[in-house]
């Protein structure tokens, strides 16, 4: 499989990716646990069918010490006992924030309150921003059919 556009060899595409990455960096520096950040990125990428991002974030999470058990259960997090209440709140917010078009009214007050119970204002900002950024990356990669499978942990610095 070959990508429709070369996001890595095109100067203008590189600018777009750099801006997306800069927004993601701000979100990642707001005090949300690194493991939670990867779980959020993985779940949104699974929902959006982004193989490239799913490949990247599962490998990065494993490289950072995340267990195979937890990585294998992200898609079925509701039935899994391996996630904390805070992680479950983040995953719920991720699903509702990713599926805005499918849900009347977007994110429910209950999902927001559950997340707010576990995260402070900066961490909530991080969660919301991270969900928005990974959804943007997912859409970019899905539209250009960016191939998955060759990513190496830390490849993009």
pLDDT tens-digit map of 45-104 = 999 999 999 999 999 999 999 999 999 999 999 999 999 999 999 999 999 999 998 877
DSSP assignment, residue 49? Answer: T
Which CATH number covers residue 103? 1.20.1290.10
Task: Convert 91-119 to b/e letters by CB count within 10 Å (16 or more is b).
Answer: bbbbbbbbeeeeeeeebeeebbebbeebb
Give percent of the chain above pLDDT 90.
88
Q: Are 99 and 47 a contacting pair, CB within 8 Å?
A: yes
In a domain, 21, yes or no: no
Q: Report pTM.
A: 0.95
In a domain, 152, yes or no: no
Q: What is the pLDDT of residue 104?
A: 72
Question: DSSP string of 92-136?
Answer: HHHHHHHTGGGSTTSS-HHHHHHHHHHS-HHHHHHHHHHHHHHHH
Give CA angle at 122 (76, 118), nearest 5°. 45
Flag whether pLDDT at 155 surpasses 90: no
In a domain, 149, yes or no: no
Q: Which domain holds residue 127?
A: 31-144
């Amino acid at each position: 499989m070959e990508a429709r556009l070369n996001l890595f060899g095109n100067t203008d595409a590189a600018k777009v990716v750099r801006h997306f990455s800069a927004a993601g960096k701000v979100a990642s520096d707001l005090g949300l646990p690194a493991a939670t950040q990867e779980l959020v990125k993985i779940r949104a990428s699974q929902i959006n069918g982004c193989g490239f991002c799913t490949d990247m974030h599962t490998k990065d999470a494993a490289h950072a010490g995340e267990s195979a058990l937890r990585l294998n259960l992200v898609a079925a997090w509701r039935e899994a006992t391996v996630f904390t209440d805070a992680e479950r709140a983040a995953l719920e917010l991720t699903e509702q924030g990713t599926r805005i078009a499918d849900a009347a009214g977007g994110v429910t007050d209950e999902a927001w309150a559950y997340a707010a119970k576990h995260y402070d204002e900066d961490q909530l900002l991080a969660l919301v921003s991270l969900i928005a950024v990974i959804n943007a990356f997912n859409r970019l990669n899905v539209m250009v059919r960016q191939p998955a499978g060759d990513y190496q942990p830390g490849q993009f610095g």
